[in-house]
Amino acid sequence: MAHREASRMSSNTAVEISLPLKFSTSRVFRRASRVSTSPSPVETYKLVGLLLPMRYHELVGVFAGLEAESSTLKKADLLAGLLSRTPPDLLKPVVYMTTGNIFPPWMNREINVGDKTVISAIVMATGATKIQVQNLLREQGDLGSVATLLLTSRAQHTLFRQELTVAHVHQTFQKIAGMDGSGSQDAKISSVAELISNARPESARYIIRTALGQLRMGVGDGIMRDAISSAFTVNKEVVEKANAVLNDYGEVAVLASRGESELTDLKLRLFRPIKVMLYPKAEKVDDALASAGQPAQFEFKYDGFRTQIHKKGEEVRIYTRRLDDITFQFPDVVTAVRRGIRAREAIIDSETIGIDPATGRWVPFQNISQRIRRKYDIEKLVQTLPVETHVFDLLFLDGRSLLDMPLAERFRRVQDVVTPDPSDGIRVAEHLVTADPAQARAFYQTALDRGLEGIMVKNLQAGYKPGQRVGLGYKVKPETETLDLVIVGADWGEGRRTSWLSSFELAVVGPDGGFLPAGKMGTGMTDSDLTNLTETLKPDITRQHGKQVQLKPRMVVEVGYQEIQKSPTYASGFALRFPRLVRIRDDRKPEDADTLDRLKTIYAKQFSRGEKP
């Protein structure tokens, strides 16, 4: 047998421990000698947790509970229990895997495994045929459930498998994510198959969902914050602030396990991007001014893409709102930062916008979005699609974090460090500080006259709150509403559009972090748009039935529409009437898309405007 049994008794409890053959029993008793000779049941349980590798099926038991539970409070309690009994060296993997990831958010890395790879792995691991797997997939609608069914039916499965540990599963997925080049596809299939072969039937469900990036159990930042706070008796605000700086709840959990003092006085780290501060929408300039506080700072809202730029000496890295590293694609911005930022170390928040080389006028985001994705002809694009960067915030300066500093002071430092020479390609965002509604309205009109989206209105005393959309500032745009939605499906076209994906299914973010369809978009797209969308989305196809395809929720698009209607057809309960493509939002992650709550809010507003519901 692959295991031998060891037993240890306390005065109150008997604990049977199954040890892998390579596990050192001398290590067990050396470690055991550090605790009392008659440990309590709780002490005994913790001892076992310290001595034995944490098994993956323990994690799966919590996954199932989280998936079944709708209460955020109970989810946090379940997760807190898991974290409190997780060995310190496994806290990072457990936190990442519970949120459906393998890496921390700031790394912005994915496993990059598709349905075809998983199907081949299931065939290799279970002995089923490809046709059998595909037929079961049509019945179950989920490859994780297919693997669970096939493993359950394998009578010999438990005789030959080796118990999966959390560490092994996490390390295997890390290796898979790094596989590239010749032979990498076969290596990925073999690695996933090895995990499936050794998994308990229910564990296979979650292994496959993790591999496909489909493990969504509604564990957002708020639940993770509360769980860490409860597990290690640390103040919630301290936990949240630590994550704002580190952008890594895995590391926060490790530090919290050592005591609250470990979470204080943390500094931002250069070249580890953090989430950007977000702002809700206000209907009117006067409303925004009244809510933000008077006086307030008004800034142009540029039609470009958010750039968080890190500088240390001559080294410069550029990150999008999605935390993608786009330094390679924008050597002109790197040069501008080297010339135009007068600081040894800095992290700046800014908007990078396109410039028409013939007229010098700003151009819409859609005109320059191709530069974000482009991997070749970079120097040519620098000439044909030039950009300039407008700085509106400073988060870190020469070794000091400025997150807690009021905006008024941070902006003064922006003005100090950004060169006054606009030819450098970087400048301070145009702004106005006023308490006068008339001046504010005039500034707004100037922004619209210059072809911009609108303005930002910010509280001068506010600190910087990464990743939060709080009432410390507002964006004001013309009343025409648009929605940022995720493409989750499509149909292959007909006639001359046979080779293109079309009729794209659009979804909002649901309460549990999943995606709820709210209509299909088939207008507002040129042939060039359809070609671009098809080429971009083809690798994200996870399933096809006839002309219909299911897509990995990855692309975000800004969508206009005539109105929102209630509808039993879509899982959101709503349908967009005549949705049309406005632009692709390369700067948005799927989780940044609009929520079901916002859809409901806009729907309700239709009545107050006297529009037909």
DSSP state letters, 452-478: --EEEEEETT----TT-B-TTEEEE--
Taking each helix axis from N to C terminus, what angle separates 166-177 and 56-68, rounded to the nearest 10 degrees? Answer: 80
DSSP state letters, 354-411: EE-TTT--EE-HHHHHHHHH--S-HHHHHHHS-EEEEEEEEEEETTEE-TTS-HHHHH
Spell out the residues 6+ positions from residue 473 whose beta carbon is closer than 8 angstroms to its own.
Answer: 277, 279, 292, 456, 457, 458, 459, 462
Please, what's the largest Cα pairwise distance for the chain? Answer: 85
CA separation for the pair 321, 592 (Å, rounded)? 9
Q: Cis omega before residue 420 (within 30°)?
A: no
**59 in Cβ contact with 94 (< 8 Å):** yes
- In degrees to the nearest 10, what's the CA dihedral of 253, 258, 259, 260? -40
SS3 of 172, please? helix
Residue 55 DSSP class: B
**305 in Cβ contact with 586 (< 8 Å):** yes
**552 in Cβ contact with 579 (< 8 Å):** no
CA separation for the pair 445, 451 (Å, rounded)? 10
Taking the CB of residue 198, how many other CB atoms lie within 10 A of it? Answer: 21
**345 in Cβ contact with 311 (< 8 Å):** yes
**483 in Cβ contact with 293 (< 8 Å):** no
Residue type (1 letter), 495: G
Q: How big is the chain by its Cα radius of gyration, in Å?
A: 27
Show contacts of 140-144: CB within 8 Å, 24+ apart: 142/205, 142/209, 143/115, 143/118, 143/119, 143/208, 143/212, 144/204, 144/205, 144/206, 144/207, 144/208, 144/209, 144/214
Catalytic annotation present for 301: yes
Q: Of the residues 188, 301, 520, 589, which is catalytic?
A: 301
Spell out the residues 6+ positions from residue 538 whose beta carbon is closer than 8 angstroms to its own.
Answer: 501
Nearest alpha carbon to residue 227 among 76, 387, 113: 76
Taking each helix axis from N to C terminus, what angle separates 25-32 and 41-51, rounded to the nearest 10 degrees? Answer: 140
Nearest alpha carbon to residue 281 among 467, 408, 455, 439: 455
Catalytically active residues are: 301
